[in-house]
Amino acid sequence: MGRQGKDGYIQIFQQVTRMISMVHDPRQVMEIIVHSLPELLAIDACTIRLLDQASGSFVLGAAAGLSPEYLGRPDVDSRETLGMVASGHPVAMSEVANSPHLSFREAALKEGIESVLTLPIAFQERVIGIMRLLTRNRRSFAEAEIAFAMALAEQVGIAIANGRMFKQLAQQVEFLRELQFISQLVNSTLDLDRVLTTIVELLPRSLQAQGCTIRLLTPKSKELELAASAGLSREYLDRGEVVDEKNTIRALRGEAVAIQDVTADDRVLYHEHMVREGIRSLLAVPIKVMDEVIGIIRILAREPRQFSEAEINFSLAVAEAGGSAITNARTYRKITLLFNQIEEHEHFLANIIDCIRPQLIVIDRQGRVVMANRAFLEASGWQEGEVLGMEYRRLCRSEEGREMCPVDQVLTSGRMASSIHRLDGGDGPRWLERTATPMIDESGEVEFVIEVIRDLTAQRLLEAEQVERSKLEGVVEMAGAVAHEINTPLFAALGTAQILEADLAGTAEEEDIRTVIRNLKSISELTAKMTAMTGYSSRDYVGETRIVSL
């Protein structure tokens, strides 16, 4: 090999490696290689074909020097070629006329091809394509030429891997946007039908599939029932039960099941219905809530499809978000049904109405609010849409050092609990009594907690006033008793003084004894008032002082 040949090799190799680091589309790298190698290696044509995992055939990636008829032939001897290059080594054929593969031999001879060198394109020890060098004259390739071509084939493998990696990253970013969008929609409503419809319509659109179904387990019988569908015919949906299909069984166990060809897979039962519907691939994922499977989602595609790991993870994430929304909507529907049933029983309804005159909220076992009455909304200042689904701890914030809220006590112990909280504000102190009562399900577990909040402020103030009134009434009674006790010695003293007044008439002490008599009479009048006293009144004075009038 001369200096010019070496320089040419280096120049092409540098150009290829530079492009790999700059572009994300491997086709640009492949185009440079197939158009540069014929002149550099003195060959007539070059092709690069990539292995399609879904069909198992080689798909044209780039080509130069060959007719459209040769490149467009349907049979590209995929199995034979893959078998030759599976070891990772190049396969040279100096005389195409001696090829045992009839279809390839006929097409090559018709194109005028005499010699072929087939090189594997591999990544991480797995063949992902082939590169062929073709000549119209008989040719034996030198080791240096083969080594250089192999080096370029490796670069193609790297370019393809980088392109796939970039595509996967872009797909994951798009999936994150789609997941956020779908999650916001399904969690923005408590209408179960709307939640299900949103999922079956948006999920296949995100995955570029044709149809989607949601089947949910009934809460009591645990039977699998079709809840929603999109993109599928009624004939297909009515084909029969799918609970015995292996893909359904595995999905109900919490696994994701991807089937590339449903027409020949024993994990599917209704092959004829699948064919009539035009379905070729299927992905089944579980719908989980708190590690409990409540149903399955199946995504169906009309072309052979090998679902990627990113697509499977995206479907699982949508199913998880949908599971929470479905549970919330089911709970809301259950509460609504409960109140509809209550309305049919007038007497029971009257008792319930009496109970919910104070503030009332209903919390599920996950600690989220599922119902709030008007009295609570008016007192808290929240809107109903804001409260429903809210974590209870946002409504009852336990301060450090205080016992936990009654609802938390019920969820922990399963027994009714109550507490009284004092709130200090600008209008003075307020007292709230919070009473939480559990609603037990058939298994004996707490399913919901009903909390009633009563304002005890008026009652507390009245009790305080009554205590103060009782104290003053005691004072009144004591004053009457004291007056009664004073009257006996007072009357004796007054009689004695009046006798002395007669004896001291005309003396200097007469005026003094009269003064004593006047004072004793004043005391007598006062005790008479104390004895007749039955109540009191009060009025404000300076600051916090009050004047009491007996």
Which has the higher per-residue pLDDT, 313 or 427?
313
254: left (phi over 0), alpha (psi -120 to 50) or beta: left
Of 135, 168, 201, which closes a domain? 168
- pLDDT of residue 42 exceeding 80, the answer is yes
- Give, to the nearest 10 degrees, the angle between helix 3-22 and helix 26-41: 170
Q: Identify whether 476 is part of a domain.
A: yes
Quick one: 213 and 244 in the same domain? yes
Q: Which whole number is the average pLDDT over 416-441?
A: 83
Q: Looking at this protein, which amino acid is placed at residue 542?
A: V
Quick one: 138 and 285 in the same domain? no
Q: How confident is the model at residue 296 (pLDDT cuts 50, 70, 90)?
A: very high
Number of domains in the chain: 4
Q: Which whole number is the average pLDDT over 276-305?
A: 90
Q: Which whole number is the average pLDDT over 105-116?
A: 87
The pLDDT, as a whole number, for residue 11 is 67
Q: How far apart are CA 357 and CA 337, in angstroms?
A: 21
Parent domain of 367: 346-455
Average per-residue pLDDT in the chain?
Answer: 79
Task: Output the domain CATH number for residue 354.
Answer: 3.30.450.20
Are 431 and 456 spatial neighbours (Cβ–Cβ below 8 Å)?
A: yes
Residue 213 is inside which H or E element, if any? strand 211-217
Burial, 323: exposed, middle or buried (Cβ in 10 Å; 0-12, 13-18, 19+)? Answer: buried
- pLDDT of residue 493 exceeding 80, the answer is no
Residue range 160-183, pLDDT digits in tens? 777 667 666 666 667 677 777 777
Residue 15 is inside which H or E element, if any? helix 3-22
Q: How far apart are CA 160 and CA 154, in angstroms?
A: 10
Are 90 and 120 spatial neighbours (Cβ–Cβ below 8 Å)?
A: yes
Q: Identify whether 182 is part of a domain.
A: no
Are 266 and 242 spatial neighbours (Cβ–Cβ below 8 Å)?
A: no
Long-range CB contacts (within 8 A, 24+) of 480-484: 480/530, 480/531, 480/533, 482/530, 483/526, 483/527, 483/528, 483/529, 483/530, 483/531, 484/527, 484/531
Quick one: 45 and 149 in the same domain? yes
The pLDDT, as a whole number, for residue 343 is 63
Dihedral sign (CA 499, 504, 505, 509): negative
Lowest mean pLDDT segment, chosen from 20-29, 289-298, 364-373: 20-29
Q: Identify whether 163 is part of a domain.
A: yes
Beta bridge pairs of residue 92: 117
Beta bridge pairs of residue 540: 546
CA atoms within 13 A on the CB side of 174: 13
The pLDDT, as a whole number, for residue 486 is 78
Task: Output the domain CATH number for residue 103.
Answer: 3.30.450.40
Quick one: 512 and 482 in the same domain? yes
Residue range 402-426, pLDDT digits in tens? 557 888 889 888 899 888 878 777 6
Q: How confident is the model at residue 401 (pLDDT cuts 50, 70, 90)?
A: very low
Lowest mean pLDDT segment, chosen from 26-35, 112-121, 294-303: 26-35
Which has the higher per-residue pLDDT, 20 or 530?
530
Quick one: 111 and 215 in the same domain? no
Contacts of 473 (CB under 8 A, 6+ apart): none
Quick one: 55 and 160 in the same domain? yes
Quick one: 317 and 423 in the same domain? no
Closest CA to 327 of 291, 356, 294, 281: 294
Are 319 and 285 spatial neighbours (Cβ–Cβ below 8 Å)?
A: yes
- pLDDT of residue 350 exceeding 50, the answer is no
Quick one: 47 and 152 in the same domain? yes
Which has the higher per-residue pLDDT, 487 or 294?
294
Residue 445: CB atoms within 10 A of its CB come to 10
Q: Identify whether 89 is part of a domain.
A: yes
Are 452 and 358 spatial neighbours (Cβ–Cβ below 8 Å)?
A: yes
Torsion of CA 387, 389, 390, 395, to 10 degrees: 60
Angstrom CA distances, 260 to 299, 313, 339, 401, stand at 12, 17, 48, 59
The pLDDT, as a whole number, for residue 438 is 92
Q: Identify whether 179 is part of a domain.
A: no
The pLDDT, as a whole number, for residue 437 is 92
Q: How confident is the model at residue 354 (pLDDT cuts 50, 70, 90)?
A: very low
φ, ψ at 547 (rounded to 5°): -100, 130
Quick one: 353 and 253 in the same domain? no
The model's pTM is 0.44
Quick one: 502 and 435 in the same domain? no
The pLDDT, as a whole number, for residue 290 is 84
Residue range 44-91, pLDDT digits in tens? 998 888 877 666 677 888 888 889 888 887 666 556 566 666 666 788
Quick one: 8 and 146 in the same domain? yes
Quick one: 529 and 449 in the same domain? no
Q: How far apart are CA 245 and CA 267, in angstroms?
A: 6
Q: How confident is the model at residue 2 (pLDDT cuts 50, 70, 90)?
A: very low
- pLDDT of residue 452 exceeding 70, the answer is yes
Of 335, 356, 384, which closes a domain? 335
Q: How far apart are CA 323 and CA 192, in angstroms?
A: 11
- pLDDT of residue 546 exceeding 60, the answer is no
- pLDDT of residue 100 exceeding 90, the answer is no
Contacts of 488 (CB under 8 A, 6+ apart): none
Angstrom CA distances, 516 to 41, 493, 494, 510, stand at 148, 10, 8, 10
Q: How confident is the model at residue 384 (pLDDT cuts 50, 70, 90)?
A: confident
- pLDDT of residue 353 exceeding 80, the answer is no
Of 305, 335, 365, which closes a domain? 335
Q: Identify whether 174 is part of a domain.
A: no
The pLDDT, as a whole number, for residue 286 is 93
Q: Identify whether 180 is part of a domain.
A: no
Lowest mean pLDDT segment, chosen from 211-225, 370-384, 405-419, 466-480: 466-480
Q: Identify whether 173 is part of a domain.
A: no
The pLDDT, as a whole number, for residue 348 is 56
- pLDDT of residue 388 exceeding 60, the answer is yes
